[in-house]
């Protein structure tokens, strides 16, 4: 309907979990990195939870699409207590015949299937979607099924995806043994305001839009109304495109979004986080929006071909390779002048380039620290630590920065683990020995690695350490 008018090759805000449209904001990047780590390191159980519409299924589709390891995948959707015995459903999800067989026969058949797949070098992944509906008995059956991994190899991995109620289920009585086997877990939260604006732009670019379509104010209004939940963002943004097309608007402004939301609130059951009637746009916001619209229009006139064919946006994402140094200097200049939010946007764009991702994410983490968003700073630096560093020195610098951040958050044990890894990688790096001496008990022996219990964080960090070390060999 509106695709031709807005130069779109497809609908940008489809509700289907298409991994090609996945926007990797800070939270989704971290979730993807942790799940990649869990798959690569053979975690028996992985758990991802989040409110409805936060993008869990889309994230899983991307995870499986980009995996280079040969997988055999079975999926169970809509878990509920009425399923009865779980083994027939699991076997069927992998295409195994179950007719006329009891649960014991099916169990042995599945064990032979795992043995065969292991023998030919394939891993087996079982995904349980909507797992918050599973009964405790079902999860116990899964725990026992994981015993087919005999300790020398891990043929079967299980990934549970569900709403936040899954967390309550896993913390319930009798679930201690199951919880102890979870190697990776993550709660996928909604997008921030800045991420919502970037999310809308990203999906429009993937759909073929050559110029920015939603104003920044429009994106911020979408956030105020949806709370940053991707599914709700898609629904409201799609509705705004229809309204914009009806008005033949060149830009989807905050006013267009509010008009679409008001109509939807009046005639529908859309779960707005804030009532459209309560959302105001001040004069300064409207003035800034008009300046932005004028600036984009001027840029388009300057670079558009005489044939009126559309070209790439003036601010491409990611930037071209020969512009990367200039973009990085621009981000540093913004950071040094105290314009941290603008700097975050610049570094976020640059982080899409593999050769610049570690350096850009490190600077982005420092910007988050400067504005007091310490949790986001830590998430960003953890993401940087999982990327392949361009040089050994760059990787070590990120490790050090991550340790300092953990120390500032009073997470001393985790900071010590990183400082110890740094000491092993490069002895006497900066003030690491002094920090270790201050954080460790005075009577601690040199055999620190054996004395400290292996935490979930330390297992994750060791994997990252090996990855970074391997990148320079």
Kindly indicate the confidence band of residue 315, based on its pLDDT and cuts at 50, 70 and 90. very low
Cβ proximity of 397 and 362 under 8 Å: yes
Cβ proximity of 26 and 376 under 8 Å: yes
Phi, psi torsion values for 183, nearest 5 degrees? -85, -30
324 by DSSP, 3-state: which?
helix
Higher pLDDT, 470 or 162: 162
Higher pLDDT, 127 or 467: 127
Residue 450 has pLDDT above 60, yes or no: no
Distance separating alpha carbons of residues 222 and 200, to the nearest angstrom: 9
pLDDT per residue over 209-221, tens digit each?
Answer: 988 899 999 999 9
54 by DSSP, 3-state: which?
coil
pLDDT per residue over 135-189, tens digit each?
Answer: 888 888 888 888 877 655 557 899 999 999 999 899 888 889 898 889 999 999 9
Distances 432 to 40, 424, 436, 446, 468 between C-alpha atoms, Å: 30, 11, 6, 15, 19
- Kindly give, in sequence order, each residue whose CB lies less than 8 Å from that of residue 164, ignoring residues fewer than 6 positions away: 49, 50, 51, 132, 187
Torsion sign over Cα 9, 15, 18, 24:
positive
pLDDT per residue over 389-433, tens digit each?
Answer: 878 888 888 888 888 888 887 788 888 888 888 888 888 888 888
pLDDT at 57: 86
Q: What percent helix, strand, coil does the chain show, rounded to 5?
A: 60, 5, 35
As a whole number of Å, the CA-based R_g of the chain is: 25
Element (H, E) at 40: helix 26-40
Phi, psi torsion values for 306, nearest 5 degrees? -60, -25
Reported residue count of the chain is 473
Concatenated DSSP letters of 197-251: HHHHHHHHHHTT--S--B-HHHHHHHHHHHTT-HHHHHHHHHHHHHHHHHTT-SS
Distance separating alpha carbons of residues 231 and 55, to the nearest angstrom: 7
Distance separating alpha carbons of residues 289 and 297, to the nearest angstrom: 12
Distance separating alpha carbons of residues 185 and 48, to the nearest angstrom: 6
Cβ proximity of 452 and 446 under 8 Å: no
Tokens of 424: 């092993």
For residue 94, count other CB atoms closer than 10 A to its CB: 16
Most confident of 9-23, 249-263, 278-292: 249-263
Residue 444 has pLDDT above 70, yes or no: no
Average pLDDT of the residues of the chain: 81
Question: Could you tell me which of 330, 302, 299 has the C-alpha nearest to residue 315?
Answer: 299
- Kindly give, in sequence order, each residue whose CB lies less than 8 Å from that of residue 338, ignoring residues fewer than 6 positions away: none
Distance separating alpha carbons of residues 270 and 436, to the nearest angstrom: 53
Residue 36 has pLDDT above 80, yes or no: yes
- pTM for the whole structure: 0.62
Residue 473 has pLDDT above 50, yes or no: no
Cβ proximity of 48 and 30 under 8 Å: no
Distance separating alpha carbons of residues 437 and 442, to the nearest angstrom: 8
Mean pLDDT, rounded, for 94-117: 88
Task: Tell how far CA 428 is from the center of its chain.
Answer: 35
pLDDT per residue over 355-401, tens digit each?
Answer: 888 888 999 988 888 887 877 888 888 888 878 887 888 888 888 88
Domains in the chain, start-ordered, CATH in brackets? Answer: 26-188 (3.40.50.300), 193-303 (no CATH), 321-470 (1.25.40.10)
Tokens of 361: 């994410």
Orientation angle between helical segments 283-303 and 254-267, nearest 10 degrees: 120
Higher pLDDT, 190 or 100: 190
Cβ proximity of 355 and 318 under 8 Å: no
pLDDT at 406: 82
**What proportion of the chain, given as a percentage, has pLDDT over 70?**
84
Phi, psi torsion values for 47, nearest 5 degrees? -135, 130
Question: Could you tell me which of 432, 376, 425, 426 has the C-alpha nearest to residue 403?
Answer: 432
Residue 225 has pLDDT above 90, yes or no: yes
Tokens of 369: 């620290």
């Amino acid at each position: 309907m509106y695709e031709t008018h807005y130069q779109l090759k497809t609908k940008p805000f489809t509700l289907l979990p298409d991994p090609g449209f996945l926007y990797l904001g800070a939270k989704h990047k971290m979730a993807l990195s942790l799940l990649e780590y869990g798959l690569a390191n053979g975690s028996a159980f992985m758990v991802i939870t989040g409110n409805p519409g936060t993008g869990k299924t889309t994230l899983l589709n991307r995870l499986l699409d980009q995996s280079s390891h040969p997988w055999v995948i079975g999926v169970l959707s809509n878990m509920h207590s009425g399923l009865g015995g779980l083994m027939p459903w699991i076997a069927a999800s992998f295409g195994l015949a179950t007719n006329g067989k009891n649960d014991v026969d099916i169990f042995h058949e599945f064990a032979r299937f795992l043995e065969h797949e292991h023998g030919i070098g394939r891993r087996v992944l079982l995904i349980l979607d909507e797992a918050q509906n599973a009964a405790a008995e079902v999860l116990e059956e899964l725990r026992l099924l994981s015993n087919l991994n005999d300790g020398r190899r891990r043929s079967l991995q299980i990934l549970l995806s569900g709403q936040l109620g899954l967390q309550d289920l896993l913390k319930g009585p009798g679930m201690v043994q199951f919880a102890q086997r979870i190697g990776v877990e993550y709660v996928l939260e909604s997008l921030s305001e800045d991420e919502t604006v970037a999310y809308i732009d990203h999906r429009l670019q993937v759909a073929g839009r050559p110029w920015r379509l939603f104003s920044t104010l429009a994106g911020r209004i979408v956030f105020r109304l949806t709370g940053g939940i991707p599914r709700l963002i898609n629904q409201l943004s799609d509705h705004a495109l229809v309204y914009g097309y009806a008005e033949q608007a060149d830009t989807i402004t905050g006013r267009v979004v509010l008009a679409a939301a008001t109509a939807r609130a009046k005639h529908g059951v859309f779960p707005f986080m804030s009532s459209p009637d309560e959302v105001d746009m001040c004069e300064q916001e409207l003035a800034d929006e008009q300046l932005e619209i004028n600036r984009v229009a001027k840029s388009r006139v300057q670079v558009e071909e005489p044939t009126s064919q559309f070209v790439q946006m003036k601010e491409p994402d990611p930037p071209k390779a020969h512009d990367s140094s200039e973009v990085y200097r621009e981000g540093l200049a913004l950071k040094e002048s105290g314009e941290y939010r603008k700097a975050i946007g610049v570094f976020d764009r640059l982080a899409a380039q593999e050769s610049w991702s570690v350096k850009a994410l490190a600077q982005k983490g420092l910007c988050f620290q400067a504005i007091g968003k310490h949790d986001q700073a830590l998430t960003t630096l953890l993401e940087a630590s999982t990327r392949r560093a361009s040089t050994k020195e760059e990787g070590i610098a990120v490790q050090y920065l991550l340790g300092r951040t953990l120390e500032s958050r009073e997470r001393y044990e985790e900071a010590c683990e990183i400082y110890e890894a740094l000491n092993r990688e490069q002895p006497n790096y900066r003030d690491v020995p002094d920090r270790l001496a201050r954080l460790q008990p005075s009577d601690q022996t040199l055999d620190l690695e054996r004395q400290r219990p292996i935490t979930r964080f330390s297992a994750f960090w060791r994997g990252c350490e090996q990855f970074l070390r391997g990148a320079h060999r």
